[in-house]
Structures are given as C-alpha cells and as structure tokens.
A and B are shown apart, each in its own frame.
Chain A
Amino acid sequence: MTGPDWGRSLQTTEYVVQDTSHPKSLLSRFDRMLMPFEDVANFLAATAIFMLMVLGVLQIGLRSIFNAPITGYIDLVELSMASMAFLGAAYCQRLGAHIRMELLVGRLHGRTLWAAEIFGTLVALFIIGVLIWYSSGHFYRSFTLGDTTIDAEFPVWPSKLLVPIAFSLWFLRLLAQLWGAIRLFLDPSLAPVAVVTAKAVAEQAQDEIHEVMGDDAASENKQ
C-alpha cells in the first residue's frame, strides 16, 4: 500500500485526459464535463485551507494583542472543516490519489486488471451511494430538528450539507471510471478513457518525485 504521504502528484501521468481516438465519445464528454466541477470543488477546499491559516493568525493576534478573541473561532473552524475534508474527494479520485494496496492489482494486466477495477469501483459506488443517502439524512435532521454549535450557536446544517454534495460529485466520477473500466474490459486494446490504471509501487514513487520536483525533474530522469 502506498502511503497517504505529504507529497503526491498533481499531474499523475497515468491519468489519460484526452481520448484522441474518440474525441466526441459520450464517455469522453462526460469525463470532461465533470472536470471543471471537480477542479472548482478542490479549489474551494484549497481556499478554505488558506482561510484557516488567515483565521488562525488573526485569532492569535486579536487574542494576544487586543485581548479580543474571535467569538466562536473554534465553531467556525469546525464548520469549515467539512469543506476541506470532502470537497476535493472527486478530484482526488480522478487523480487516483485515494490510497490503496497496489501489491496485487499492480501486477495485473488486460482483462483481469479491468475486472479488478470494475469490482473495486462497484464497491466504491455502493458505499458512496449509501453515504449520499444517509449523510443527506444526517443533514436533514439538523435542518429540520435543529442543531447549532457549542459556543456561538451557529447553525450546523450548511456544513452537513456539504457531505452529500461532495459525495454526489464523487459518485459521478466513480460512474465515469466504471464506464471506462467496462469499456476496456470488453476491449482491452482501446485507448484508456476516464480510468486510473493500477500502478506498481515503483511508478507510484515516480509520481511522488514528479510532485515535489515538477515535470522537468521527471524528464531529466528519463534521459
């Protein structure tokens, strides 16, 4: 299993963005339709991280210098964490960055590989589907029965609503990957579209290098 480490690739090489052979195929269009939504969602998560930094510095300053801490600072942070924890899920899935054990699947090829991918994606679709429905229930309870934070009594429901929203995007991305895997299972000779191929650990390591050093380092290594 490769580590949930601090440096992973933004531009993972194995992800095939464009399918030049069928530029207008339905799958291709679905795939590309999802991307901007995923990018924006991850960008919002990134913005939340930046704001968390700003808020933390402000809190230290206001408290230490002016003895006037931000009311409900902890509540604000807790409410904002849903954006960091969930919004990037589909983006992360597209880039194959949710961790898994590559020991076996990394050695598969052709039909067996795509069969394994189909199985893994079906499991994912099942649990994310269940989570969309029941995290909506969690949101709905807080919306109808009431729920506020401990200190400043901010309403909690907007934060809970982010879970089913982010997971729905994740579900769509998984659907695209399932579709892509079935297509390749039927004909492994096709050009991959909307799939993340399994990688050997060594390739995974190569990704980490890309990530910290950028593309030039990787191309240097190939020379």
Chain B
Amino acid sequence: AEIEGPKVFWKISMWGNPRALSAGMEEMAKNAAEATGGNFQIKIFYGGQLSGARENLDGLKLNAFEGAAICNFYHPGKNPAWMVFSLPFLPLGDPAVDRHVRSKLFEHPALIADMERWNAIPYVSGLLPQYEILGKGKAPNDLSDWAGMRVRAGGGLGSALEKLGAVKQTLPAGETSTAFQRGALDAAAFPFTYAHVSFKISDEADWYTTNLTPGTSECGWLFNKTAYEALPPQYQEFLMSQRETIMETTQAAYAEQDKKNLPVFQETMAQVTYSDEQLAEFREVAGKPVWDEWIAANSDKFDAQGLFDAVWSYAEEAK
C-alpha cells in the first residue's frame, strides 16, 4: 500500500440519499481505501441511519461516529457563527471565489470554536450553490413586485425578502412542491439548480431568477475531534490532502446537474434577469440591514464583525 497503517473503520453520518453534496466524500472514501490497501475504511451511512440531520452534532459530541455532514441552518443555535454563511448577498456568486472563501472560513477561529463545543472539527465545505428563486404567476421584474409575494425562503435570505415586503412561508421542503403547484405559494428559494429539480419545483414554475444570487448556506463535513486526533499522522495527512479533490468532485457534480437542468429551465420558464442598478438597490434595501442585525445580535457571542469582514477580505483575495 501507498500508506502503511493500522486497520481503522470510520462511520460518517449523513441524512437523505447519495447526491451531488456527497459525491466528493464518496470519492475520498474510495481513495482512502485504495491508498491504505483497504486498511482505512470510511463508510458514509445515508438516510439518517446513524443520526437525524439535526442531531449530527450531538452524535459527534457523544463519540457515536467519526464524521458527519451538517447544514448550518437546521440548528442556528448550535452553530451561531456558522450562520454567517446564510447571510444574504455575500460575494460568493463565482464558484472559484466561493471555494476559496469557504476553505479559508473553515479555518476561521470563530467557526472552529463553534465546532469545538461539539467535539467536532470542520473538514471540508459542501460548497452549496447560490440560491435562485423559482416562481409562478407574474414574474417579479421590478423589486417592488416582491411585495405581498408568498415565498418559501429560510434564514437570512428569508429576512432579506421580507424587507422587500414578501411574506415568508414556513413549509417542510418536501411539502413545498404541493403547496407551490396548487397556488398556496408564489415562489421558492433553493440551491440552484439541482434542489429545484429534486423538489420538483421546476416542473411547475413559470419563471426563475438568473442572477439574483441572493445567498447560500453551508452544508459541510465535520470530523469527530477525538477520532481525528487518535489517527496516525499519515492518515491525518491523507485526509487533509484530500480536501481539494473533494471540493472539485462536488463542484463537478453540481455543474453536471446544471448542464442537464439549465437548458430545460431556459426552455420552459421565463428568465428574470436584474440590471446592476436593480441588484445594487436590492442589496441596499435587503442586504445591509440584515447584515447589521445579524452582527448586532451576535457580537456578544463571538467577533461577529470580524467574521463578517473576513468573508469580504477572503473574497477580495480570490479575485
């Protein structure tokens, strides 16, 4: 084997089915087995077999498994600093910039401290794509058209749309398509494009926003700190060396989806493309106030201003 070492079996907890989000980690698990001659076995358990999505941090704290995926917005109170990823209008629209910023943030002390409490260490970002909004009925070509629109959007993005006068609807993701289809909902924001397709929203929508890039969230991968520290150094090095490959594979999987989905979207839906002036106005009305509120609400918990500023400086670096 390329890397010598003891027999180790790692369990990674993930909810739902194998998908683009998990493609990179699957690739890494395969590489680990190959490089160690089958000694380092990493298995991703899907379907919440090891833990529900909202209890993955508890499971790491309890040392029940060696790794897990989390989405920051499933449990805002468990990872307050990580909610920075869900702020609207962060400069993460370009996939290359996004990748750089998130890689740096995964080593940011505030985010590490959040995970430290759960005996977890941030490993690699899932690079969730930017959200876009799909909707039915009259397309919101002007920002004023958003007033009164019933939108399913969570976190900072939901707050941003509320600033425009939209009515935020709370619905389980699985119920969205039904409500949407029958007129109980006007629009829904999900990671673009694959989530709109997997929740079957694209089948029904009349229009989609092409360049709103209103924000995203973080669904990424963590390791159990105890388990990681117990690994021989050559295994630790191997894991850390895999992060670029994982992100590449994941982004390729999203791109693969987009390649399939975008032509269909363009054919079946009207495109809502905002001018630079409109986007600037949107950011002014619905971005800054949400940022300020978030920074004010979290300043006593961690250096919220510093973390927020870091996002922008990392983005600047990447350009």
A contacts B: CB pair < 8 Å = yes
A214 contacts B by Cβ under 8 Å = no
Residues of B127-156 at the interface with A, using a CB-CB cut-off of 8 Å, are 148, 150, 154
| In the complex with contacts A67-B150, A153-B76, A155-B77, A145-B117 CB distance below 8 A | yes
A65 contacts B by Cβ under 8 Å = no
B174 contacts A by Cβ under 8 Å = no
Which residues of chain B come closer than 8 Å to A75, judged between CB atoms?
170
Which residues of chain B come closer than 8 Å to A73, judged between CB atoms?
170
A141 touches B80 (CB 8 A): no
In the bound complex, CA of A69 to CA of B150 (Å): 10
B172 contacts A by Cβ under 8 Å = yes
A150 contacts B by Cβ under 8 Å = yes
A146 touches B78 (CB 8 A): yes
A74 contacts B by Cβ under 8 Å = yes
Shortest CB distance A106–B (Å) = 36
| In the complex with contacts A150-B76, A151-B154, A155-B77, A69-B117 CB distance below 8 A | no
A159 contacts B by Cβ under 8 Å = no
In the bound complex, CA of A155 to CA of B77 (Å): 8
B74 touches A150 (CB 8 A): yes
Shortest CB distance A65–B (Å) = 13
Which residues of chain A come closer than 8 Å to B54, judged between CB atoms?
150
Q: From A59, which residue of chain B is reached at the shortest CB distance?
A: B170
Assign chain A's interface to a size class: 20 to 34
A145 touches B74 (CB 8 A): no
Q: Which one of A63, A71, A138, A146 lies within 8 Å of B77 (CB-CB)? A: A146
Inter-chain residue pair count (beta carbon < 8 A) = 47
B154 touches A150 (CB 8 A): yes
Shortest CB distance A139–B (Å) = 11
In the bound complex, CA of A81 to CA of B155 (Å): 23
A150 touches B75 (CB 8 A): yes
Which residues of chain A come closer than 8 Å to B73, judged between CB atoms?
150
A141 touches B58 (CB 8 A): yes
List, sorted by A's number, 28 A–B pairs whose CB atoms are closer than 8 Å. Answer: A63-B184, A67-B148, A67-B150, A67-B167, A69-B167, A69-B170, A71-B168, A71-B170, A72-B170, A74-B170, A74-B171, A74-B172, A75-B170, A141-B58, A145-B61, A145-B78, A145-B117, A145-B118, A147-B77, A148-B77, A150-B54, A150-B73, A150-B76, A151-B170, A153-B76, A153-B77, A155-B77, A156-B77
Residues of A within 8 A of B (CB): 63, 67-69, 71-75, 138, 141-142, 145-148, 150-151, 153, 155-156
Residues of B within 8 A of A (CB): 54, 58, 61, 73-78, 80, 117-118, 148, 150, 154, 167-172, 184
